A = this chain, B = another copy of it.
Amino acid sequence: MSVLVVYAHPSPQSFNHAVLEEFTKGLKDGGHSFEVVDLHAIGFDPRTKLEDLAQFAGGQMPKDVLDQQEKVVAADTLVFIYPKFSASFPAILKGWIDRVFSYGFAYQGSEKGMEGLLKHQKALLIDTTGFPEEYYKTTGLEDAFRLYGSSILSSIGIQNVDFVSFYAVPMVDDETRKKYLETAYRLGKEF
């Protein structure tokens, strides 16, 4: 299994980064090959550029997008590890999705409408949150997010999508955080 891990927290001292570390340690121990793209570390610019619009005229995407598309193609599964900001993908990751999953690369038009072009076996979305589970559940934000994430990935051809949330990171006790990290390790090892 060849895994592309797209990671999107600004701080290497964050709990989200610890999740990344445990998950990739698990991948390693499970015998999976993987590559991590640390979006903040590479200075990925999430803003759609005028040059990005070339995709709709059959033109070439900017180099930073092509580099990412090469990594996407080389993997057979995608993993996203990110903090929920405003109950969804942080902007840096939303922009990676906006720009990298471009027309002609991730999808194309067909008689039936939109046709997904990616062939990945599965995608796993792992996030950490600032608020308790009840907030996301009672407001409908969790349903909206999961429907959103699975529909977007399904639109580009990835039907098998799983979600894992580690809730209320700043509020939970050390024991819970330890369990979160054990889960992250196990998710990698049994991937």
**Chain A residues close to B by CB (< 8 Å):** 10-11, 40, 46-50, 52-53, 56, 85-92, 94-95, 97-99, 101, 113-114, 131-132, 134-135, 139-141, 143-145, 147-148, 151-152, 154-155, 170
How many angstroms from the CA of A88 to the CA of B98 in the assembled complex?
A: 9
Measured CB to CB, the nearest residue on chain B to A40 is B47
Distance from A70 Cβ to chain B, minimum over Cβ atoms (Å): 20
In the complex the two chains form, is B155's CB within 8 Å of A151's CB?
A: no
List B contacts of A10 (CB < 8 A).
Answer: 47-50, 52-53
Beyond A46-B47, A148-B148, whether A98 also contacts B87 by CB under 8 A is no
Measured CB to CB, the nearest residue on chain B to A12 is B50
Task: Identify which of B48, B88, B147, B170 contacts A85 (C-beta below 8 A).
Answer: B48
In the complex the two chains form, is B152's CB within 8 Å of A87's CB?
A: yes
In the complex the two chains form, is B47's CB within 8 Å of A91's CB?
A: yes
List B contacts of A48 (CB < 8 A).
Answer: 10, 85, 90-92
In the complex the two chains form, is A135's CB within 8 Å of B148's CB?
A: no
Distance from A22 Cβ to chain B, minimum over Cβ atoms (Å): 22
Task: Identify which of B49, B90, B141 contacts A148 (C-beta below 8 A).
Answer: B141
